[in-house]
Homo-oligomer: A and B are copies of this chain.
């Protein structure tokens, strides 16, 4: 994963804060045992069901998502038959170009037919200021269900305020995104997407079976249980 980020950084795909954000994720993943915990597996099933049954699902991606799991996000979009929209917090033309090129190269290599949006923003997310508000009217603006992995808290909140079902993938169960999302999967991004791609899609649980606070508390409890009496027997 670090090598993928270093490669992406050299291509100009990442913001300065990308490596620090990844380090924070590493810390939480370590505390979770670097595995998909049961509550996250259930949330992943609910998320896949919700995406598959949406009117207009969109997968929103930023620099770290493309760097860490660009192929997997394309394969998921192909499976769900929905567009991907590049939507970054520190938006510059150079970073947008680098991300769109990288995704389009991957798409060609994988031989997929997926719409990749983001290059022609013609709409705004209400409540956000400046370039970070930009989006496409046929993408994020029109969506009813959005997958936003590794999303910034402000934008997650703004999307929820638009009435959208927002599915968050975040290793920190205490982050604002994790708390504000409609459905939150506390798991490492590429592991979560691989789970979605290999999952049996019949009989998936629905959003009515998902309990948000309990899901976040279950993740905290996994961390807590690994810390209790760790050094007591020494």
What is the predominant secondary structure among interface residues of chain A facing chain B? helix
CA of A174 to CA of B26, assembled, Å: 13
CA of A27 to CA of B217, assembled, Å: 18
Of B16, B19, B234, which one neighbours A20 at CB under 8 angstroms?
A: B19
Contact across chains for A224 and B228 when beta carbons are under 8 A apart: yes
A210 within 8 A of B: no
With an 8 Å Cβ cutoff, the count of chain A residues facing the other chain is 34
CA of A30 to CA of B20, assembled, Å: 14
Within 8 A of B (CB), among A1-51: 2, 5-6, 16-17, 19-28, 30-31
A16: nearest residue on chain B (CB-CB)? B6
A230 within 8 A of B: yes
- The quantity of this chain's copies bound in the complex is 2
Within 8 A of B (CB), among A185-207: none
CA of A5 to CA of B20, assembled, Å: 10
Of B22, B213, B221, which one neighbours A23 at CB under 8 angstroms?
A: B22
Chain B residues within 8 Å of A6, by CB:
16
**Closest Cβ–Cβ distance, residue A28 to chain B (whole Å):** 6
**Closest Cβ–Cβ distance, residue A185 to chain B (whole Å):** 16
**Closest Cβ–Cβ distance, residue A64 to chain B (whole Å):** 11
A208 within 8 A of B: no
Contact across chains for B16 and A23 when beta carbons are under 8 A apart: no
Q: A20-B23, A20-B26, A24-B26 are in contact. Are A220 and B216 (CB under 8 A)?
A: no
A123 within 8 A of B: no
**Closest Cβ–Cβ distance, residue A163 to chain B (whole Å):** 21
Of B17, B24, B213, B229, which one neighbours A27 at CB under 8 angstroms?
A: B24
A234: nearest residue on chain B (CB-CB)? B213
Contact across chains for B220 and A230 when beta carbons are under 8 A apart: yes
**Closest Cβ–Cβ distance, residue A148 to chain B (whole Å):** 20
Q: A20-B2, A27-B28 are in contact. Are A231 and B227 (CB under 8 A)?
A: no
Chain B residues within 8 Å of A5, by CB:
20
CA of A231 to CA of B180, assembled, Å: 12
List 8 A-B residue pairs with CB atoms under 8 Å apart, sorted by A's residue number: A2-B20, A5-B20, A6-B16, A25-B27, A31-B174, A216-B231, A223-B227, A224-B224
